[in-house]
Chains A and B, each alone.
Chain A
Amino acid sequence: MVEVKHITKSFEGRTVLNDISAVFEAGKTNLIIGRSGSGKTVLIKNIIGLMRPDSGKILYDGRDLTAMNKQELKLLRCEMGMLFQGSALFDSMTVLENVMFPLDMFSNDTYKERLKRAQFCLDRVNLSEAGHLYPSEISGGMMKRAAIARAISLNPKYLFCDEPNSGLDPKTSLIIDDLIHDITAEYKMTTIINTHDMNSVMNIGENIIFIKEGVKEWQGNSQEVITSNNKALNDFIFASDLFRKVKEVEENEIKEQNKSIK
């Protein structure tokens, strides 16, 4: 479980995160949503320790990241996996070498064991045939899957995903969402996903935090999103015609159900 308590972050006098508190539960896909520039990326960067908050605490199963020294932070990072928006695979390494990289750096296993683990991770994301290829030789969806394989190679307790579906077609996005969801449940990881993809919100949003202008505006799950009366959330989620129609259909169904009960 990851918990943020009263996080505040400012840049040159401009407050980007204002007193944000939230709990991200283990075994669930936790989503941070919000418009571009709302502070999502700054929040996730604070949570993973790439930035230091001005005030507040970030607790990893009770361990405060903001109070850790370099060595403690290094140990904690071995428990983290991260999927970046652009995949961030190392260009000079093959897919298999990318997945083996964290193992080579931190595992004390033999080469055979490391190779076996890397191949298992590639197999888990259905990429066992692409191990010998370089990132430039595979598609965007395959890159995301390879990055997921690398992120889970050390069997992390915490998985962070920054815009995992950006640049992907809807079908591939669904595959990536399902993969992240399944892996989260399978390994009981605390997964935090930074997204503004509404399909992801509806599909895998087990715990959703909506941020508006650096303030936590709303928290709930994908079912509660539909019925929420929060205006800012509704303006954000139902900005497209498609989702407005989905909401209307859902609300009509609820009304009819209520009538039939009466």
Chain B
Amino acid sequence: MAGDKVDPTHQFMINEIVPIHIGGLNLSFTNASLFMVATLVVAIGFLYFTTTPRSVVPGRMQSVSELSYEFIASMLREGAGSHGMHFFPMVFSLFMFILTANLLGMVPYFFTITSQIIVTFALALFVIGTVLVYGFYKHGFGFLKVFVPSGVPGILLPLVVAIEIISFLSRPISLSVRLFANMLAGHITLKVFAGFVASLGTMGALGIGGAILPLIMTVALTGLEFLVAFLQAYVFAVLTCMYLNDAVHPGGH
């Protein structure tokens, strides 16, 4: 990746590893696919092997697994009530998948699958699709109450309903773009500042002195990016809980 040219977008390049073409579609196993599989293996492996001791008094690693489980469980219970607990596997899977993908992306030379808009958009559509399907399946046309907040004066109602519909339609976009843009921008920024260190370092003694500043910046940004990696997974899970609350309680504004 760190070739002769410092191109901050090169890290998002998708390269085919095993070319697969089915019915005119390119379904090749790429580096993105590889890191999806890696995310799957790392997350499942971590959750599986840390809970293998099954000890009543948990060790550190077992605590991490249990805490993340209880963290998402309480988040969903607070966000969508006890009826929302049907969606616990979904929210927990989304959180762990995105968190693991984000953290794997922090490893140098690793591909960040959540920096691909199509991946985050697919995950967001999965959430909104679940909300729509479950909402209409459970409440029929009563689900449309989600667009009609209670306690709004009659004159304002058409305006408020229009705003609600627009906000609902923008949810998959905001949900996916938020995660995508955060991961993309963070990795580009890191690459740019790290690139400054490399290019200033080749410019003699003065350059090495000047390279210290972007180096400090890179270190600080790395810490920030670890925070962002967790925070974006958390935000995605929280918003998923909120949207699922609409599906469970359509009139509960």
Instruction: Tell me, yes or no, whether A binds B.
Output: no
